Amino acid sequence: MPRALITGITGQDGLYLGELLLSKGYEVYGLIRGQNNPKRALVEATLPGIKVLTGDLTDLSSLIRALEAAKPDEFYNLGAISFVAYSWENASLTTEVTAKGVLNALEAVRLYSGDDPRKVRFYQASSSEMFGKVQQVPQDEDTLLWPRSPYGVAKVFGHYMTINYRESYGMHASSGVLFNHESPRRGPEFVTRKVSQAVARISLGLQENIVLGNLDARRDWGFAGDYVEAMWLMLQQEEADDYVISTGETHSIKELLEKAFSVVGITDWEKYVVQNPEFMRPAEVDLLIGSSAKAESKLGWKPKVGFAELVTMMVENDVVEQKALAGL
């Protein structure tokens, strides 16, 4: 039975990856911060059979203890402070967790592996936010990185550190440069879930409007459930490498709103949307669209869920959820 250790198990990717690995017969260990983490119950309810360990990406010794307890064949580093807007508010903490946390994870795996640097296959969750001020459309594995947020800068550090450990120590360490990927499990602070929840509440008469920033920003949105399969495929390859994971389509926030409101039968959606400069980024990333040609040819990976299906899935989920919460 293969064994895997996942950091960031409480996030949407961690939950979907945990489900995927359990379905493949893995023994799965999930790392969470703190003994009384409020999301522990969610993890245990969603992933029955998972073994929960406590640890912290900022504490190297706790990561080594987790490795010794889990004895994993695969280590998936999904843990990070991942809300881009927050990274401007706390650049220091974002750097400690999202950048230096990767170094700690790599170093823990290196020390644990001893004389066999390929003993544990390592996955690093890189991000399309690393492209930032895009220098090429679409973006692929060779596109120059030009991050435009503290989060993006931190992810670049982790990305290159993963490459460095692979080249310096011979570790089987891969990075997945994942473009935006969403689901009904996405946190409500992210724009897609903020929209799907608000649309559900507006349709139920529980909310009057939704306040957003730049409606013209464009993103390449896919389904998180598809993207975790790509993570797993990377670690099944004989040689480690880096892969862009994306749909190859781009959509604006306006298109997201139009589709989300259409799911609940609202066509005059503009009157429910308020723009507020406070929600504008200090440095915007205008156009992210990825090319996954390498992942398709080498991993045999393609996204299964399209944009319209994804938005419909999220809105329908939130209508049910908000109805239940309101007792309707």
Q: Is residue 268 part of a domain?
A: yes
pTM listed for this prediction: 0.93
Residue 265 makes CB contacts below 8 A (sequence gap 6+) with 203
Instruction: Give me the catalytic one of 151, 165, 227, 243.
Output: 151
- CATH assignment of the domain containing 275: 3.90.25.10
Tell me, yes or no, if 151 is annotated catalytic: yes
**Is 293 a member of any domain?**
no
User: Residue 238's domain is classified under what CATH number?
Assistant: 3.40.50.720
Separation between Cα atoms, residue 191 and residue 194, nearest integer Å:
5
| Strands 218-219 and 251-252, bridge-based pairing | antiparallel
Spell out the per-residue pLDDT of the chain, length 328, in tens.
999 999 999 999 999 999 999 999 999 999 998 777 888 999 999 999 999 999 999 999 999 999 999 999 999 999 988 777 777 888 999 999 999 999 999 999 999 999 999 999 999 999 999 999 888 999 999 999 999 999 999 999 999 999 999 999 999 999 999 999 999 999 898 899 999 999 999 999 999 999 998 898 888 999 999 999 999 999 999 999 999 999 999 999 999 999 999 999 999 999 999 987 676 555 555 678 999 999 999 999 999 999 999 999 999 999 999 999 999 8
Number of structural domains in the chain: 2
Is 299 a member of any domain? no
Residue 292, in any domain of the structure: no
Catalytic site residue from 127, 149, 183, 246: 127
Helix, strand or coil, per DSSP, at residue 121: strand
Q: What is the pLDDT of residue 286?
A: 60
Question: Which residue range is the domain that position 72 belongs to?
Answer: 3-181+223-245
Contact 131, 116 (CB under 8 A): no
Does residue 298 lie in a domain region? no
89 carries an active-site annotation: no
Same domain, yes or no: 197 and 76: no
Catalytic member of 27, 74, 129, 182 = 129
The Cα–Cα gap between 311 and 251 comes to: 12
Three-class SS of residue 245?
Answer: strand
- What SS3 class is residue 74? strand
pLDDT at 37: 85
Q: How far is Cα 60 from Cα 131, in angstroms, rounded to an integer?
A: 29
149 is catalytic: no
Structure confidence at residue 239 (pLDDT): 97
